[in-house]
Structure 1
Amino acid sequence: MFDVIVLGGGAAGFYGAIHIAERNPKLKIAILERGKEVLTKVKVSGGGRCNVAHAEFDPREISKNYPRGERELVGPFHTYCSGDTMAFFEKRGIQLNIEADGRMFPATNSSQTIIDCFLQETDRLGIKVLKNSSIIGITSLDGNTAKGDYSWAIKTIRNTYQAKKILVATGSNPKIWELLRQMGHTIIAPVPSLFTFNIKDDRITGIQGVSTNANIQIIPSKVNNGKFKAALKKYSIQSSDLESEGPLLITHWGMSGPGILRLSAWGARILHELNYNFSIKINWLPAYHEEGLLRQLQQIKEIEGKKTILRTKAFDLPKRLWGSLVKAAQISDSDKWADISKIQLQNLAKQLTGSTFRVTGKSTFKEEFVTAGGVDLKEINFKTYESKIHPGLYFAGEVINVDAITGGFNFQNAWTGAYIAAQAIAKP
Structure 2
Amino acid sequence: MDTMSWFSEKGVELKIEKDGRVFPVSNSSSSIIDCLISEAKNRGVSLQTGKVVTNVSCISGGKFSVKLEKRSIDYVEYLEADYLLIASGSSQQGYNLATQLGHSIIEPVPSLFTFKIDDLRLTELSGVTFPKVEAKLIFEALRTNVPQLTQVGSMLVTHWGLSGPVILRLSAWGARYLAKSDYKVLCRSFIGRFCS
TM-score, normalized by length of structure 1? 0.40
> What amino acid is the match of 1:138?
V
Q: Which runs of 4+ in 1 moved over 6 A?
A: none
Q: Which residue of 1 aligns with 2:72?
A: none
Distance in 2 between the 1:94 and 1:176 partners?
30
* 1:111 aligned residue (13, 23, 29): 29
Say if 1:216 and 1:280, in contact at 8 Å, map to a contact too: no
| 2:73 aligned residue | none
Whether the 8 Å CA contact 2:86–2:98 is kept in 1: the answer is no
Distance change >3 Å, CA 125–CA 153, structure 1 → 2: closer
Q: 2:68 matched to which residue of 1?
A: 156
Is the CA contact (8 Å cut-off) linking 2:57 and 2:100 kept in structure 1? no
**How much identity, in percent, do the aligned residues show?**
38
| 1:336-368 residue CA offsets vs partner (Å, 9 max, x unmatched) | xxxxxxxxxxxxxxxxxxxxxxxxxxxxxxxxx
Q: CA 1:202–1:165 in 2, change beyond 3 Å: closer, same or farther?
A: closer
How far apart are 1:268 and its partner, in Å? 0.7
Partners of 1:215 and 1:282 within 8 A in 2: no
Q: Kindly report the root-mean-square deviation, in angstroms, between the aligned alpha carbons of the 2 structures.
A: 2.5
Number of corresponding residues: 188
SS of the residue corresponding to residue 261 of structure 1 reads helix
Indicate which of 141, 146, 166 corresponds to 1:240.
146
Which sections of structure 2, spanning at least 5 residues, go unmatched?
70-75
Counterpart residue type for residue 205 of structure 1: T
Given residue 115 of structure 1, which amino acid in structure 2 is its aligned partner?
A: I
Paired with 1:219 and 1:90, the residues of 2 have a C-alpha distance of: 40
Q: Helix, strand or coil: the match of 1:108? A: coil
Residue 172 (1) aligns with residue 172 (2): no
Does the alignment pair 1:123 with 2:44?
Answer: no
Q: Give the counterpart of 1:184 among 62, 81, 102.
A: 102
Shift of 1:160: 1.2
The aligned counterpart of 1:405 is: none
- Distance between the aligned counterparts of 1:259 and 1:248, measured in 2? 6
Residues 365-385 of structure 1: CA distance to partner in whole angstroms, max 9, x if unpaired? xxxxxxxxxxxxxxxxxxxxx
Which runs of 5 or more structure 1 residues have no equivalent in the other structure?
1-79, 144-148, 221-227, 288-314, 317-428
Deviation at 1:122, TM superposition (A): 2.6
Going from structure 1 to structure 2, the CA distance change for 1:105 and 1:219 (only over 3 Å counts) comes to: closer
Cα distance in 1 for residues equivalent to 2:53 and 2:154: 41
The separation in 1 between residues aligned to 2:152 and 2:24, in whole angstroms, is 27
| 1:215 maps onto 2:134 in alignment | yes
More helix by share: 1
1:186–1:97 CA distance, 2 compared to 1 (3 A): closer
Q: How does the TM-score come out when normalised to structure 2?
A: 0.80
- 1:277-329 deviation digits (Å, cap 9, x = unpaired): 33321240226xxxxxxxxxxxxxxxxxxxxxxxxxxx53xxxxxxxxxxxxx
